Amino acid sequence: MDKLDYRELGLKVGLEIHQQLNTKHKLFCGCPTKLASLETPHEEIVRYLKVSKSEIGDVDPAAAYEIQKGRKIIYVVPKGHACLVEMDEEPPHEVNREALAITIAIAKALNSNLIDEIQYMRKIVVDGSNTTGFQRTAIVAIGGHITIEGRRVGIQTIALEEDAARKLEEGPGYVKYNLDRLGIPLIEIATEPDIDDPELAMKVAASIGLLLRLTGRVKRGLGTIRQDLNVSIKGGVKTEIKGVSLLELIPKIVEYEAMRQLRLLKIRDELRARGVKESNVSDEIVNLTDLLKNSKSKLVRRVLKAGGGVYGILLKGFKGILGTEVQPGRRFGTELSDYAKAWGGVGGIIHSDELPKYGISEGEVAAIYETLGGDPSRDAFVLVLADEEKARRALGAVIERARHALIGIPKETRGANPDGTTRYLRPQPGAARMYPETDVPPVRVDEGLLREAERIKPPLPDEFLKTLESSHGLGKELAKQLIWSDDLHTYLDIVESMPGIDRKFVASLLVITLRGLRSEGIDVSKLSRDDIVKALRLYHEGKVPKDAVAEVLKEKAQHPEKDLDAIASKYLRLSEDEVRAVVERIVEERIDKVRDLCERSFGMIMGATMKELRGRVEGRLVAAIVKEIINRVCSGGLEG
């Protein structure tokens, strides 16, 4: 597809970044901020959750259905990781001042205005991830900005809240959480929707992430930072995309969301041009089980055998619309299917734009059209194969979604797929239902907190970029690539733990060499951070030469089952004497030529030697030895 003109599209992106703080204890109690292991002794407590329909707007619809029925919630309480506060059997203690000081430091770095008196609020949460039924959150600062490559992006709010309990598993009628994560301090930074370019969205996320890391007081590793994106285009709606963990995926996600909104608007215009109205989308759900009871389709037969049925709806005037692509590999039919899955808990839908398929014949398609009273040249239909109750809930949601196609784009919370496309998760919640937390007294920002914050305040990303360029010696391009990459923290850890290591080499290994391997088709995602650290350590300790690091990692990526040390043993560095012996042998094998060509034989000898020793010795050393031996031969003879 052609590159979208984002300015013309009126693209607007805002970010919400959530980062766990690495404090000594939790936000409202003395428990540590470390997650429990599987071996940690624990007890379990059970609660039943029942909430009114008006409160479940922002819950996964499938879960909402369960919740209305009264869902069982099991809380794992690991010893030493959760206390009576997390269990909601004791009121919260005073706010953790260390967490506040870190938040204030970050607010100052972002030029945000501190609130004089911080007041905790209760935000209603109905999925059971908080034992209290609400999350405690407070705005610490308002406004501010961050400047990235000359672009100024506004900050809306900076809040300090408690993280939710960690979901362990979910099944019919129950959900199980671990309380170890509940109450870990979480900073939430929301930007203004000032971002008008997919690359800039990534850079803002990277910069804020970097700023957080540069305090040295935040958690690292999987799940400790979570990014949400709010994306809209002119004429579209603000869509929330939750839980983006890879920075590199952000530009794709933004691009695909802009594309989706654009195409949904085109679909709306096309339907309107055909004269289709919301009222043309009928509520009628038709039982087609009898019609298809002798179908040869394996899919149909399997469902019927299990006691399910085939149910269908007609979408008048929708011919061809369901097969229209809205994101790469996702059609309007996929959008409908998401609703059927979320609301009906079914596996998906079958629609007329993809038939005949799944063993459903052309004759059967014609019969379905006839039963539904549709015109095959103008109308579309949707089938759901499931038990009746689920099928009706699924198709009810599909009908609502199809009607919305005539209005435009529904307000949705979506989840990111690994390829950057997104899927429907749930409707967007209304304005957050909040009320003051009376158990936590308001906190005045005093001198002590400000002094503590001043000590933590991180350098700005632009300043840090200069540090990487100059004192780390990376040069502008490499420093830029590194600063925007997910590997920056790996880099910082390595150069800190291996003093004196060639920092430019480490940086280019991470952002250039390993990515180069990826473009050769080698799955470098198979490499763990530990693999990379280990390979570099072997080099740092002088056990393998520089060239070997990439070779070792390449082989490890191709054969993850192999031991890294075993792979590295092939590349153990040769001593100077060993190299000399190899060069002497190679020269001897070509002695006539060398005598003839003298220094002009350098390339030939060098090539033959490196072919044998690549990865086990530095090229520079080989070159020096080759030169020395050729000189010796030409000025008197090798044997002499």
Q: Which one, of 304, 454, 320, 306, lies nearest residue 381 by Cα?
A: 320
DSSP β-bridge partners for residue 563: none
Shortest reach from residue 162's CB to Zn ion, in Å: 11
346 binds Zn ion (CB under 5 A): no
Q: Residue 83, interface with Zn ion (CB under 5 A)?
A: yes
Q: Is 77 in the site for Zn ion (CB under 5 A)?
A: no
Nearest to 465 by CA among 11, 89, 101, 148: 148
Query: Does 29 sit near Zn ion (CB under 5 A)?
Result: yes
- Shortest Å distance, C-beta 220 to Zn ion: 23
- Residue 385 in contact with Zn ion, rule: CB under 5 A: no
User: What's the min distance (Å) between Cβ of 413 and Zn ion?
Assistant: 30
Of the pair 97, 433, the CB lying nearest Zn ion is at: 97
Spatial CA neighbour of 210 closest among 263, 286, 146, 261: 146
Q: Please, what is the end-to-end C-alpha distance for the chain in angstroms?
A: 71
* Contact flags string 243-282 toward Zn ion, x per CB under 5 A: ----------------------------------------
Nearer to Zn ion, 86 or 531 (CB): 86
Residue 28 Cβ vs Zn ion, minimum distance, rounded to whole Å? 8
Alpha-carbon separation of residue 485 from 14, 139, 276, 417, 481 (angstroms): 20, 29, 47, 20, 6
What is the closest distance, in whole angstroms, from the C-beta atom of residue 444 to Zn ion in the complex? 25
Stretch near Zn ion under the rule CB under 5 A, chosen from 86-94, 100-108, 217-225, 301-309: 86-94
| Core vs surface per residue 374-405: b (16+ CB within 10 A) or e | beeeebbbbbbbbeeebbbbbbbbbbebbbbb
The two structure tokens encoding residue 74: 């099991």
Output the smallest distance, CB 455 to Zn ion, in A: 27
Question: Which of 43/375 has CB closer to Zn ion?
Answer: 43
Considering only 9, 31, 382, 383, the residue that binds Zn ion (CB under 5 A) is 31
Given a contact cutoff of 8 angstroms between Cβ atoms, the answer to whether 324 and 267 are in contact is yes
For every residue of 404-434, DSSP letters joined together read HTTT----EEEEE-TTS-EEEEEEPP-S--E
Q: How far is the CB of 132 from Zn ion (least distance, A)?
A: 13
Cβ closest to Zn ion, residue 131 vs residue 601: 131
Choose the stretch contacting Zn ion; rule: CB under 5 A; options: 72-80, 84-92, 150-158, 390-398: 84-92
Instruction: Give which of 424, 430, 413 is closest to 124, Cα–Cα.
Output: 430
**Interface of this chain with Zn ion, residues 514 to 543, rule: CB under 5 A:** none
What CA–CA distance (Å, rounded) separates 363 from 290?
A: 15
Selected binder of Zn ion within 85, 233, 249, 385 (CB under 5 A): 85
Can residue 568 be called a binding residue for Zn ion (CB under 5 A)?
no
CB of residue 88 to Zn ion, shortest distance in Å: 11
Helix/strand/coil for 301: helix
Count, residues near Zn ion per rule CB under 5 A: 5
Phi-psi region of 49 (alpha: psi -120 to 50; beta: other; left: phi over 0): beta
Enumerate binding residues for Zn ion (CB under 5 A): 29, 31, 83, 85-86
